[in-house]
């Protein structure tokens, strides 16, 4: 197979305990609600059904809870619009299989894990430049006319932290409708806003969109539970792919989540704790960069888990990371997020997994390698 593995997955396997890692998109373990999850687990533990095979689309209780959250946000949804997946990573795989061999418009830079799935399923990616308020609309329109399919991450994008303006969200809706195409909206970070939540683009495209969600960034990634929200007919058409891959996502994880989510106020409180903590870390990371390495131009993130920026021309961050690895600090070079992977001066930093001391030390180590 000619497709290379993800640089990030390889790095995660290669680094040792002493390395300060700004590479993987890991949530902060200190924020996992372990006690509440333990209580939810204890409540379901004696019920034999949680150990049995279950339905392919996901247990009713969990699909209902997810549907309710959309409906409350003004995006009417029932459990029949929801397909539970093994992380949103699998959601993307299912959709890539569904649209196999087609052309797809993506943002550049974009999420590495999605790009690899598209390559594996022979989807031809057409990159559109991402500006600081979303994709360049003229370029997007030109590309979408041909592909009639797009994959976008409009909230606190991985890797660039970009969030689409309301205007650009509306423009995307018009273009998708006019061309009668499909939008895949990937939203794992939308709840991690520091200021306000933006409306989903999919909400105005209920028949032409797949909205992807996940509990990996808001609760714990280990349960491997994500979902696709789509028109009921579309859900029915992709079910065969889900069934063929793994019959169903972990029933055990689904029952724990459904139990935990019964207490909405508790989940909301937990989300707010994450937002507050990540906001502090994002500020600290940005301040330290300005202090120690002012040549790295960036904006403080407004949510999510990443800080993105550039040294500009003249610094090859792919070469630099090899030096950094020797000094036991690592990040992801920006070229990894482009279709052609030509080295550039950009870097993606994950700021959620390190503590304040590691953030300062890590940036100083990178500076010493420059």
Instruction: Kindly list the residues in this chain that would bind ligand PMP in the complex (CB under 6 A).
Output: 25, 87-89, 111, 113, 153, 158, 186, 188, 214, 216, 221, 226
Residue 325 phi, psi dihedral angles, 5° rounding: -60, -40
Minimum CB distance to ligand PMP smaller for 83 or for 315: 83
Residue among 97, 45, 123, 49 at smallest CA distance from 238: 97
The helix (run of H) or strand (run of E) holding residue 290 is helix 264-292
- Shortest Å, Cβ 189 to ligand PMP: 7
- Shortest Å, Cβ 190 to ligand PMP: 11
Minimum CB distance to ligand PMP smaller for 81 or for 88: 88
Minimum CB distance to ligand PMP smaller for 89 or for 317: 89
Minimum CB distance to ligand PMP smaller for 227 or for 311: 227
Minimum CB distance to ligand PMP smaller for 20 or for 84: 84
118-143 burial, b if ≥16 CB within 10 A, otherwise e?
bbebebebbbbebbeebbbbebbbeb
Q: List, in order, residues 6 or more apart from 94 with CB less than 8 Å away.
A: 83, 85, 228, 238, 241, 242, 245
Minimum CB distance to ligand PMP smaller for 94 or for 365: 94
Minimum CB distance to ligand PMP smaller for 108 or for 141: 108
Identify whether the C-beta of residue 288 lies closer than 8 Å to the C-beta of residue 359.
Answer: yes
- Shortest Å, Cβ 352 to ligand PMP: 12
- Shortest Å, Cβ 226 to ligand PMP: 4
DSSP 135-167: E-HHHHHHHHHHH-EEEE--SS-TTT-----HH
Q: Round to whole Å and give the CA distance between 311 and 347.
A: 8
- Shortest Å, Cβ 312 to ligand PMP: 26
Sheet bearing 103-108, strands edge to edge: 82-86, 225-229, 209-214, 182-186, 149-152, 103-108, 124-131, 134-135
Q: Round to whole Å and give the CA distance between 94 and 241.
A: 6
Minimum CB distance to ligand PMP smaller for 192 or for 366: 192
- Shortest Å, Cβ 129 to ligand PMP: 18
Shortest-Cβ-distance residue relative to ligand PMP = 87
Q: List, in order, residues 6 or more apart from 269 with CB less than 8 Å away.
A: none
Burial of 3 (0-12, 13-18, 19+ CB in 10 A): exposed
- Shortest Å, Cβ 85 to ligand PMP: 8
- Shortest Å, Cβ 290 to ligand PMP: 26
232-259 burial, b if ≥16 CB within 10 A, otherwise e?
eebbeebeebbeebeebbbbbbbbbbbb
Minimum CB distance to ligand PMP smaller for 171 or for 186: 186
- Shortest Å, Cβ 356 to ligand PMP: 23
């Amino acid at each position: 197979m000619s497709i290379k593995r993800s640089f990030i997955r390889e790095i995660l396997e290669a680094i040792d305990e002493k390395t300060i890692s700004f590479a993987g998109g890991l949530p902060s373990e200190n924020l996992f609600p372990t006690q509440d999850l333990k209580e939810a687990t204890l409540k379901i533990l004696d019920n034999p059904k949680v150990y049995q095979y279950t339905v392919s689309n996901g247990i009713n209780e969990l699909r209902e809870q997810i549907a309710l959250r959309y409906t409350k946000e003004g995006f009417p949804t029932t459990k029949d619009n929801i397909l539970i997946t093994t992380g949103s990573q699998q959601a993307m795989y299912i959709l890539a299989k569904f649209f196999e061999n087609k052309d797809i418009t993506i943002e550049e830079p974009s999420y590495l894990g999605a790009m690899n799935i598209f390559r594996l399923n022979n989807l031809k990616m057409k990159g559109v430049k991402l500006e600081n308020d979303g994709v360049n609309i003229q370029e997007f329109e030109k590309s979408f006319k041909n592909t009639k399919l797009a994959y976008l991450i409009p909230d606190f994008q991985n890797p660039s932290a970009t969030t689409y303006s309301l205007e650009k969200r509306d423009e995307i809706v018009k273009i998708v409708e006019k061309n009668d195409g499909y939008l895949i909206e990937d939203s794992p970070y939308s709840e991690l806003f520091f200021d306000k939540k933006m409306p989903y683009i999919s909400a105005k495209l209920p028949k032409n969109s797949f909205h992807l969600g996940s509990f990996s960034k808001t609760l714990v990634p280990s349960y491997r539970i994500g979902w696709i929200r789509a028109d009921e007919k579309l859900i029915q058409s992709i079910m065969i792919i889900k069934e063929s891959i793994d019959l169903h996502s972990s029933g055990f994880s689904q029952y724990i989540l459904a139990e935990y989510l019964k207490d909405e106020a508790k989940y909301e409180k937990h989300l707010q704790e994450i937002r507050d903590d990540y906001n502090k870390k994002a500020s600290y990371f940005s301040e330290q960069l300005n202090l120690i390495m002012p040549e790295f131009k960036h904006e403080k993130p407004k949510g999510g888990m990443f800080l993105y920026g550039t040294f500009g021309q003249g610094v090859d961050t792919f070469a630099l990371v090899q030096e950094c690895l020797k000094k036991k600090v690592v990040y992801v070079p920006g070229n990894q997020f482009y279709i052609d992977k030509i080295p550039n001066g950009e870097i993606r930093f994950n700021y959620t997994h390190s503590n304040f001391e590691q953030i300062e030390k890590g940036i100083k180590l990178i500076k010493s390698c420059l």
